[in-house]
Chain A
Amino acid sequence: LAKTTQPISMDSYEGQEVNITCSHNNIATNDYITWYQQFPSQGPRFIIQGYKTKVTNEVASLFIPADRKSSTLSLPRVSLSDTAVYYCLVGDIFGGAAGNKLTFGGGTRVLVKP
């Protein structure tokens, strides 16, 4: 399973865009990149998933360069309620039992200030 590296923490202010970059130098050809959000004392919540280029949904965008060795989660116009820990995960979604596993790294603690 590819190892991921993220900044430990980031501070931002309401209304700003927050970009969190995750490094995954050993990403394999079949690996997808998935981001989860976790609030204190809650289970993680799926945010977005992608393989290459750019993916956008109603809450975030995911930018993946051509070499796929990193990815950037972009949260537009954050609010106080976006304060959470964000995890970047890499795995083979078609990889059978091994691909089913999610290995969580340290995550990035985002604090949104008023």
Chain B
Amino acid sequence: GAVVSQHPSRVICKSGTSVKIECRSLDFQATTMFWYRQFPKQSLMLMATSNEGSKATYEQGVEKDKFLINHASLTLSTLTVTSAHPEDSSFYICSARLAEAYEQYFGPGTRLTVT
């Protein structure tokens, strides 16, 4: 149980375009979802915390107007990278948390390449 999926797994886009990444909890309802970014050979960096039905909370240094997060249901959160630039190329990972639980279940990640 506790499976989290992401779509797409890989995406290549041109500079200036926007890309949407979906994160779904497949067999449980996630009150909270998290979005991370990971550059090569580096650790995961938390970008934002997404609660269903409310605005996301962004970490310091993460531009909320550039990384739009929508958590419209208990099983789906989306991250939209707007006006992407090559420096946004990274591995984006989401995780989902069950209500009243600490453990987070991570998705398989999305590799974004901006050309």
Interface residues of A (CB under 8 A from B): 32, 34, 36, 41-46, 49, 87, 91, 93-94, 97, 99-107
Q: Which of A41, A49, A91, A104 contacts B43 (CB 8 A)?
A: A104
> Chain B 100-115, CB within 8 Å of chain A: the 1/0 string?
0111111111010000
Give the bracket for the number of chain B residues in contact with chain A.
20 to 34
Contact of B57 with A97 in the complex, beta carbons under 8 Å? yes
Q: Which residues of B contact A102 (CB under 8 A)?
A: 34, 46, 95, 104
Interface residues of B (CB under 8 A from A): 4, 6, 32, 34, 36, 43-46, 49, 57, 91, 93-95, 97, 101-109, 111
| Secondary structure of the A contact surface, majority rule | loop
Task: Tell me the smallest distance from the CB of B69 to a CB of chain A, in Å.
Answer: 15
| Secondary structure of the B contact surface, majority rule | strand
Given the known interface contacts A42-B109, A43-B93, A97-B49, the answer about A49 and B103 at a Cβ–Cβ threshold of 8 Å is: yes
Instruction: A43-B94, A43-B108, A93-B102 are known; give 6 further A-B pairs, CB within 8 A.
Output: A43-B4, A43-B107, A44-B44, A44-B93, A94-B102, A99-B102
